[in-house]
């Protein structure tokens, strides 16, 4: 009993380190970009999405290193489902969300394609091999390169914010926060595995629920804050960008470190991820906005999915 309490405390500490580490990492990285006069639009399209995905990256790579393949992939799939169904659903309930036409024409279709690609690879091979992982990494490099190229063509890209910190302070913040993310990730992986075994839960269930929801908290906080400030594009763009980073960068990096074997029951979760992504895309196409009714549908889908995976376990 005492050991269980200790593990739960360590799990909570791990989540705090992940969330706060990601928060400060975004601040530090953004400040570095400002000092180096990188356009603010590029910062939003890349650093924010990567920063809020840092907990997922840390957890999945730590899981891959320790051989916890189920957590490595279920964390990504669970986070993507949570991001779309719950976070976007909650944001739509807070207020009607306008969707930028660029997001609908380019980024959302690309996310649908990437989600389908991951599912096809898993269905054909039941693993993410180093070759598949390398393909994912090539895709994310090409995607970010395109974002930078496209952003530089925009007049808005000429605006660069005043640096929040000096370069040395920014570097210190980024390094310390990254260390916090890595340490927090290890605590989350180790503690969740212990708790899962103690309660007879599978690693897949833990990855799809506790770990994926916990590591998606930065996206939740970022998107809700953006909605309150009237920045709808940041709220939705953050989710779409994070989901792309989750699949292409995180699974790519994790698969390079250690090939990820995938259980057959994961195909259902991957299909749910595709359905959620397609539903978000379709909702965005209708009047280029997400309203409260669509938010309720997304949250209802999430609750049904949560009930399903708990019963399945």
Looking at residue 44, what is its pLDDT? 60
List pLDDT tens digits, range 61-104: 888 888 777 778 888 999 999 999 999 999 999 888 888 888 88
Classify domain 2-312 at the CATH topology level: A middle domain of Talin 1 (1.20.1420)
Q: Can you tell me whether residue 22 is helix, strand or coil?
A: helix
Residue 268 main-chain phi, psi, to 5 deg: -65, -45
List pLDDT tens digits, range 270-279: 999 999 999 9
Q: Note whether 207 and 75 are within 8 A (CB).
A: yes
Q: Note whether 85 and 300 are within 8 A (CB).
A: no
Looking at residue 230, what is its pLDDT? 76
Q: Note whether 273 and 81 are within 8 A (CB).
A: yes
98 has which bridge partners?
Answer: 289
Q: What CA–CA distance (Å, rounded) separates 202 from 108? A: 32
Task: Report the percent of the chain where pLDDT is more than 70.
Answer: 94
Alpha helices, DSSP H, located in 261-291: 266-285
List pLDDT tens digits, range 28-49: 877 877 787 766 556 666 777 7
pLDDT category at 217 given cuts 50, 70, 90 is: confident
Q: Which long-range contacts (CB under 8 A, 24 or more apart) does 265-268 make?
A: 265/204, 265/312, 266/73, 266/74, 266/77, 266/122, 266/204, 267/119, 267/122, 267/123
Tokens at 301, concatenated: 């889908």
CA contacts within 13 A on the Cβ side of 91: 34
Q: Note whether 41 and 156 are within 8 A (CB).
A: yes
Looking at residue 154, what is its pLDDT? 63
Q: Find tokens 């799939």 and name the residue.
A: 77
Provide the whole-model pTM. Answer: 0.81
Instruction: Tell me the residue ranges of DSSP E strands in 215-298.
Output: 260-261, 289-290
Helix axes 232-245, 69-81, angle to 10 degrees: 160
- Region 187-192: mean pLDDT is 82
List pLDDT tens digits, range 103-157: 888 899 999 999 999 999 999 999 999 999 999 999 999 998 888 787 667 655 5
Residue ranges per structural domain of the chain: 2-312
Alpha helices, DSSP H, located in 82-153: 89-94, 101-102, 108-125, 130-153
CA distances from 103 to 48, 77, 108, 137, 144 (A): 16, 21, 6, 22, 15
């Amino acid at each position: 009993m005492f050991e269980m309490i200790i593990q739960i405390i360590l799990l909570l500490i791990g989540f705090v380190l992940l969330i706060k580490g990601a928060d400060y990492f975004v601040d530090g990285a953004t400040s570095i970009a400002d000092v180096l006069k990188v356009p603010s639009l590029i910062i939003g399209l890349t650093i924010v999405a990567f920063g809020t995905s840092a907990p997922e990256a840390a957890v999945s790579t730590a899981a891959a290193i320790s051989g916890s393949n189920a957590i490595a992939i279920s964390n990504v799939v669970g986070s993507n489902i949570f991001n779309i169904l719950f976070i976007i659903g909650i944001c739509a309930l807070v207020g009607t969300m306008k969707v930028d036409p660029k997001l609908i024409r380019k980024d959302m279709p690309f996310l649908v394609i990437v989600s389908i690609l991951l599912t096809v690879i898993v269905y054909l091979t039941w693993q993410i091999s180093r070759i598949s992982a390398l393909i994912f990494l090539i895709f994310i490099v090409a995607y970010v390169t395109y974002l930078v190229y496209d952003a530089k063509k925009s007049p808005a890209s000429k605006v660069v914010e005043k640096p929040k910190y000096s370069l040395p302070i920014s570097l210190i913040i980024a390094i310390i926060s990254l260390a916090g993310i890595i340490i927090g990730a290890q605590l989350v992986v180790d503690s969740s595995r212990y708790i899962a075994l103690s309660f007879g839960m599978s690693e897949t269930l833990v990855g799809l629920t506790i770990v994926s929801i916990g590591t998606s908290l930065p996206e939740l906080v970022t998107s809700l804050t953006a909605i309150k400030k009237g920045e709808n594009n940041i709220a939705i763009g953050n989710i779409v960008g994070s989901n792309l980073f989750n699949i292409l960068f995180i699974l790519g990096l994790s698969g390079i470190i250690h090939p990820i074997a995938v259980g057959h029951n994961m195909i259902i979760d991957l299909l749910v991820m595709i359905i959620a992504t397609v539903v978000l895309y379709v909702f965005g196409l209708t009047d280029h906005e997400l309203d409260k009714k669509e938010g309720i549908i997304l949250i209802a889908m999430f609750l049904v999915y949560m009930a399903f995976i708990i019963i399945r376990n």
